Amino acid sequence: MIILVLNCGSSSLKYQVLDMKSDNEFTLKAKGLVERIGEKMGALNHQVPGQDKLVIEQPIADHTVGIRAVLEILTGKEHGVLGSLAEIEAVGHRVAHGGEFFSGSALINDKVESDIEKLCVLAPLHNPANLLGVRAVKELMPGIPQVAVFDTSFHQTMPDYAYTYAIPYEYYEKFGIRRYGFHGTSHKFVSRRAAEFLGIDLGNSRIITCHLGNGSSITAVKDGRCIDTSMGFTPQEGVPMGTRSGTIDATIVPFIAEKEGLTPKQIETILNKKSGLLGVSGVSSDCRDIEQAAASGNVRASLAQNILCYQIKKIIGAYAAALGGVDVIVFTGGIGENSALVRCDTCQGLEYLGVEFDDTVNQGIHGKDAVISKPSSRVKVVTIATNEELVIARDTMNIVKSQK
Ligand code: ADP
């Protein structure tokens, strides 16, 4: 079954075309990115595995124009990978927020579309863009089944005491203020893959998944189900990230607002875009730049790195307590899959939990599935390459097949 996977942002959209034979047997036919949608000049970056990347500069007025350009290149003579559009049997969308409506992926119909719309208030940057993608596909490929795969749905199994903030309960009732968590597709994928890779029973396991990228979150997975996660009402909470602060004392917000004469929106921008690795180091939001600057003696870059690894370690400790012990720690995402330094610093001092880290193996691991703890380690530490698009394609295939 050929599936088009779409991840629509406000001014960009990523796509992949996957030929799914089964959950684990698939071929990536093409992938790409449309960027600067709505600006004077946009660009379509298209890549067919084994061929050179193609960049076409053209104005892309909106998401419909962007998706039309993608469909044209996919079926074009020169760089196409499909005989015709009819070969695409379904479209899977990454959707940021499923709120309490969705604890799994869903076939998109009018009700689902209106629920995604209602949740725009909780994800004002992302859900509207996701909806633009859904509507553009409706227009360009009328009648094709579309499936929504939510970043939040894996976390809907959290118990109420894990997702409720200790603020007046009426704010949960009135506004839905609670922990939702994000990166759910990744946490679900890597926890399952880690169990499979290690040959352990997912249904009887305690796994801590650390998704560390530009945005980072950590999840406690008990017997395959999420019981807690570090991102909260928004992706702002948890460990420090590229430009996000992660958890801070909430009263810092009114304090800075008063001192600097800033509005809540301005403070939100500071906490989302000017904090984290960038804010502390003053160097960059990119972990590679931080590592380089720290290695050449930049004290604040070194501090940013230490804060990051310390906070990750603290959450691992908290989740080991929440899970009643831990069997597996997973590192994934751009940093988790590639930064031997972050993995090593984070795991230092976790011997008390039963972690025997193997830094010699760790140093050589980039972007693949590998065990980086010693064979004698009671807790297995692994790197798993995440693949959110594959989860979206799988869910889309399975939901569409179940309708037939
Ligand atoms: P996103 O959250 O946007 O999907 P990614 O998962 O791609 O981001 O992660 C991006 C992060 O991964 C950046 O901070 C980048 O520096 C980091 N990264 C990528 N490769 C390496 C590497 N070799 N060493 C350290 N960090 C890396």
Phi-psi region of 262 (alpha: psi -120 to 50; beta: other; left: phi over 0): beta
Q: Give residue 404 CA to ligand 1 midpoint distance, Å.
A: 40
With respect to residue 190, please indicate whether it lies within any of the assigned structural domains. Answer: no
Q: Which of 116, 150, 184 is the last residue of a domain?
A: 150
Enumerate the H helices of 164-275 as residue ranges.
170-175, 184-198, 252-260, 264-273
334 lines ligand 1 (CB under 6 A): yes
CATH code for position 258: 3.30.420.40
Beta-carbon neighbour count of residue 356 at 10 Å? Answer: 16
Backbone angles phi, psi at 198, to 5 degrees: -90, -5
**Into how many domains does the chain fold?**
2
On whether both 117 and 243 belong to a single domain, the answer is no
**Cα 190 from chain centre:** 11
Counting ligand 1 atoms within 8 A of each CB, the residue from 218, 284, 287 with the most, and so the one to mutate, is 287
On whether both 207 and 349 belong to a single domain, the answer is yes
Report the distance separating Cα 361 and Cα 370, nearest Å.
9
Type of residue at 219? T
- Residue whose Cα lies nearest atom 4 of ligand 1: it is 213
292 lines ligand 1 (CB under 6 A): no
CB 283, CB 293: distance < 8 Å: yes
On whether both 144 and 217 belong to a single domain, the answer is no
194 DSSP β-pair partners:
none
Q: Give residue 305 CA to ligand 1 midpoint distance, Å.
A: 14
On whether both 132 and 207 belong to a single domain, the answer is no
On whether both 351 and 244 belong to a single domain, the answer is yes
Half-sphere CA count of 151, side-chain side, radius 13 A:
26
Instruction: Return the SS3 of 371.
Output: strand
Q: What is the position in ligand 1's atom list of the atom closest to the CA of 386?
A: 6
On whether both 235 and 312 belong to a single domain, the answer is yes
Report the distance separating Cα 16 and Cα 33, nearest Å.
9
- 376-387 pLDDT tens trace: 999 999 999 999
Q: What is the position in ligand 1's atom list of the atom closest to the CA of 216?
A: 2
Contacts of 41 (CB under 8 A, 6+ apart): 57, 58, 59
91 DSSP β-pair partners:
4, 146
Report the distance separating Cα 280 and Cα 277, nearest Å.
6
9 lines ligand 1 (CB under 6 A): no
On whether both 139 and 205 belong to a single domain, the answer is no
* Structure token digits, residue 155: 């976390």
Catalytic residue check, 151: yes
Q: What is the position in ligand 1's atom list of the atom closest to the CA of 366?
A: 23
Provide the pLDDT for residue 404: 82
125 DSSP β-pair partners:
none
Q: What is the position in ligand 1's atom list of the atom closest to the CA of 214?
A: 2
With respect to residue 354, please indicate whether it lies within any of the assigned structural domains. Answer: yes
With respect to residue 304, please indicate whether it lies within any of the assigned structural domains. Answer: yes
With respect to residue 241, please indicate whether it lies within any of the assigned structural domains. Answer: yes
Provide the pLDDT for residue 10: 86
With respect to residue 365, please indicate whether it lies within any of the assigned structural domains. Answer: yes
146 DSSP β-pair partners:
91
- Residue whose Cα lies nearest atom 27 of ligand 1: it is 335
180: DSSP letter: -
Q: Which of 150, 180, 211 is the last residue of a domain?
A: 150
Strands of the 370-371 sheet, one edge to the other: 225-229, 216-222, 206-212, 328-332, 380-383, 370-371
* Structure token digits, residue 159: 């118990």
Q: Give residue 357 CA to ligand 1 midpoint distance, Å.
A: 22
Report the distance separating Cα 136 and Cα 358, nearest Å.
49
Provide the pLDDT for residue 201: 98
With respect to residue 36, please indicate whether it lies within any of the assigned structural domains. Answer: yes
Backbone angles phi, psi at 78, to 5 degrees: -80, -50
Q: Give residue 339 CA to ligand 1 midpoint distance, Å.
A: 8
Q: Give residue 260 CA to ligand 1 midpoint distance, Å.
A: 33
Output the tens digit of pLDDT for each of the chain's 404 residues. Answer: 999 999 999 899 999 999 999 998 999 999 999 999 999 999 999 999 999 999 999 999 999 999 999 999 999 998 999 999 999 999 999 999 999 999 999 999 999 999 999 999 999 989 999 999 999 999 999 999 999 999 999 999 999 999 999 999 999 999 999 999 999 999 999 999 999 999 999 999 999 999 999 999 999 999 999 999 999 999 999 999 999 999 999 999 999 999 999 999 999 999 999 999 999 999 999 999 999 999 999 999 999 999 999 999 999 999 999 999 999 999 999 999 999 999 999 999 999 999 999 999 999 999 999 999 999 999 999 999 999 999 999 999 999 999 98
339 lines ligand 1 (CB under 6 A): yes
Residues spanned by the domain of 132: 2-150
Q: Which of 111, 134, 150 is the last residue of a domain?
A: 150
- 131-176 pLDDT tens trace: 999 999 999 999 999 999 999 999 999 999 999 999 999 999 999 9
* Structure token digits, residue 258: 């008063």
On whether both 145 and 214 belong to a single domain, the answer is no
Q: Give residue 34 CA to ligand 1 midpoint distance, Å.
A: 20
On whether both 116 and 222 belong to a single domain, the answer is no
Out of 23, 151, 228, 249, pick the active-site residue.
151
Query: What is the DSSP pairing of strand 206-212 with strand 216-222?
Result: antiparallel
Counting ligand 1 atoms within 8 A of each CB, the residue from 231, 338, 363, 387 with the most, and so the one to mutate, is 338
- Residue whose Cα lies nearest atom 13 of ligand 1: it is 286
With respect to residue 309, please indicate whether it lies within any of the assigned structural domains. Answer: yes
Q: Give residue 286 CA to ligand 1 midpoint distance, Å.
A: 7
Enumerate the H helices of 261-403 as residue ranges.
264-273, 276-281, 287-295, 299-323, 333-338, 340-347, 359-363, 388-403
Q: Give residue 345 CA to ligand 1 midpoint distance, Å.
A: 17
338 lines ligand 1 (CB under 6 A): yes
On whether both 242 and 135 belong to a single domain, the answer is no
Alpha-carbon radius of gyration of the chain: 21
Counting ligand 1 atoms within 8 A of each CB, the residue from 126, 312, 339, 388 with the most, and so the one to mutate, is 339
240 lines ligand 1 (CB under 6 A): no
Sign of CA dihedral 156, 160, 165, 170: positive
With respect to residue 173, please indicate whether it lies within any of the assigned structural domains. Answer: no
* Four-point Cα dihedral 112, 118, 122, 125, nearest 10: 80
On whether both 124 and 212 belong to a single domain, the answer is no
CB 53, CB 45: distance < 8 Å: yes
